[in-house]
Amino acid sequence: MIPVVGYAGRTVGVLGLGRSGLSTARALAAGGAVPVCWDDSDEGRARAETEGYAVRDLTRDGAWDDVALLVTSPGIPHLYPAPHPAILGALRAGVPVDNDIGLFFRSVATQEWEQMDVAPRVVAVTGSNGKSTTSALIHHILSEGGRAAQLAGNIGRGVLDIDPPVDGGVVVLELSSYQTDLARALTPDIAVFTNLTPDHLDRHGGMGGYFAAKRRLFAEGGPDRAVVGVDEVEGLYLAGQMAEGRADDRVISVSVTRKIKGPGWSVFARKGLLAEWRKGRQVADVDLRDMPGLPGAHNHQNACAAYAVARAMGLAPKAIAAALQSFAGLPHRSQLVAEIGGVRFVNDSKATNVDAAAQALAAFPRIRWIAGGLGKEGGIAALQGALGSVAKAYLIGHSARDFALQMPGIPVEICETMDVAVARAAAEAEPGDVVLLAPAAASFDQYPNFEKRGEDFVACVARLG
């Protein structure tokens, strides 16, 4: 646990009592603060009371008279489309609002660090797609390289739940836009921006607000080194703002769409071949094409970003390449579930938007595509140019019929449920085909989250025998 510093003897409100909220309450108490907790659900409040924390309705008048700070969970709106009543009350009362990420950055460094030979470092990863895989890949490379690494944030453990970093240790954080948008402290040693595609726009008031939330990690965080995906204009803009000139190697540019050979530091992949360039010359290369845990260009971008971080931390290219080869991938993200009769079954349930689905569709030559769920604004119209490898689509969930209307020229079958879709796709698949779950939709019509949807796909495949 990372005890929260700066609030000993003071009352701190905790809003939202899921995983991060209860973790925050514990870390506050460990640092001597007095948490008062609130959740809109009876279940959440009961969990806090079971652990011995005081429960106070933070939406009522007078709730803030003795409160020094409000810490809110990332899923609770603090600005758009409208702030939660408790957050609005705190703002009106002049009470600062923070989250567990901000508390982590304020509390993780201790006096013990001064006695260490090598001070711990924090790597923070943000972006629209690939954050989880990139974060896990960085953690894997560092661990394989003998570094004491911990993975936390939007993946793995809550940031305040981790162990205090040891001498030379590294904390790898995956940070969503909800987390970077509100954190009052953001001070990573290395910050990573993977890419930017439209998502969560209701929470950020549009694309500009969404990018601004990501940009805070760099503009306010002041990292020693920035690894920036430059395949979108926002990434180019961010890299330009962080660098003092073309040869400034504090910025490492990453691409999977073009070669970058200028005087600075770059890592790019073309047709599965990763190249590292520095000071106008190539210094290393890695063949990504046969790495089972990293299929497709989108995973090659993740590999480039993770490679860049590892190189910035002093690891040798050969050691990084060996770790990339041994990376098994993450559940629900281009996860190879099984191969039956020459047909591969791949679980990419995390592909909840059209951009992530397009990347998954581009990774394989002939696809039996399982898609659908609770569709997002615009449906899958933007996928028209990405369906060339789809032999047939098997549609499930609330948006199945709407999706079918947006795929002219593609054979379609309305299956409604996962078990029917898997069975039908498996029955019609031929050797060399890939049965791919890449829903391009949220899961909440049939499942509580994308993980449960992916687990159902895995279970249905297992029943094929």
Q: Is residue 268 classed as helix, strand or coil in its secondary structure?
A: strand
φ, ψ (nearest 5 deg) of residue 398 = -60, -40
Q: Is residue 224 classed as helix, strand or coil in its secondary structure?
A: coil
* More confident position, 120 or 200: 120
**Fold observed for domain 11-98:** Rossmann fold (3.40.50)
Q: What is the pLDDT of residue 326?
A: 94
Q: What is the CATH number of domain 108-326?
A: 3.40.1190.10
DSSP per residue over 431-444, as a string?
TT-EEEE--SSBST
255 is an annotated ligand-binding site residue: no
CA–CA dist 148, 168 (Å, integer): 7
376 is an annotated ligand-binding site residue: no
* Sheet of strand 11-15: strand arrangement: 54-55, 34-38, 11-15, 67-72, 97-98
Among candidate residues 159, 148, 57, 53, the one with its CA nearest the CA of residue 99: 159
pLDDT surpasses 80 at 156: no
131 is an annotated ligand-binding site residue: yes
How confident is the prediction for the chain on average, in pLDDT?
95
Dig out the tokens for 192 from the structure: 């990573």
Q: In sequence order, which ranges of 74-186 are alpha helices (DSSP H)?
A: 85-92, 100-107, 131-144, 177-182
pLDDT surpasses 90 at 401: yes
Please, how many CA atoms are within 13 Å of residue 419, restricted to the half-sphere of its CB?
Answer: 2
222 is an annotated ligand-binding site residue: no
To 5 degrees, how large is the angle CA 34–CA 37–CA 38? 160
Strand 225-229 relative to strand 190-193: parallel, antiparallel, unpaired? Answer: parallel
pLDDT single digits (tens) 48-91: 999 999 999 999 989 999 999 999 999 899 999 999 999 999 99
Do 39 and 56 form a contact (C-beta atoms < 8 A)?
no
CA–CA dist 71, 111 (Å, integer): 25
133 is an annotated ligand-binding site residue: yes
pLDDT exceeding 70 applies to what percent of the chain?
100
* More confident position, 328 or 38: 38
347 is an annotated ligand-binding site residue: no
Looking at residues 345-370, what average pLDDT do you find?
93
180 is an annotated ligand-binding site residue: no
Looking at residues 316-320, what average pLDDT do you find?
97
Q: What is the pLDDT of residue 397?
A: 97
In the chain, where are the structural domains located?
Answer: 11-98, 108-326, 335-462
pLDDT surpasses 80 at 465: no
Q: Which residues contact residue 329 at a Cβ distance below 8 angstroms, ignoring those fewer than 6 apart?
A: 133, 292, 293, 294, 335, 336
Q: Does CATH place domain 335-462 in 3.90.190.20?
A: yes
Place of tokens 């008062």: 36
> Tell me, what amino acid is at 350?
K
Confidence grade of residue 325 (pLDDT, cut at 50, 70, 90): very high
Q: What is the pLDDT of residue 330?
A: 85
pLDDT single digits (tens) 105-123: 999 999 999 999 999 999 9
CA–CA dist 215, 256 (Å, integer): 21
Q: Is residue 463 classed as helix, strand or coil in its secondary structure?
A: coil
Please tell me if the domain spanning 11-98 has the same topology as the one spanning 108-326: no
Please, how many CA atoms are within 13 Å of residue 425, restricted to the half-sphere of its CB?
Answer: 35
pLDDT single digits (tens) 231-270: 999 999 999 999 999 999 999 999 999 999 889 999 999 9
Confidence grade of residue 200 (pLDDT, cut at 50, 70, 90): confident
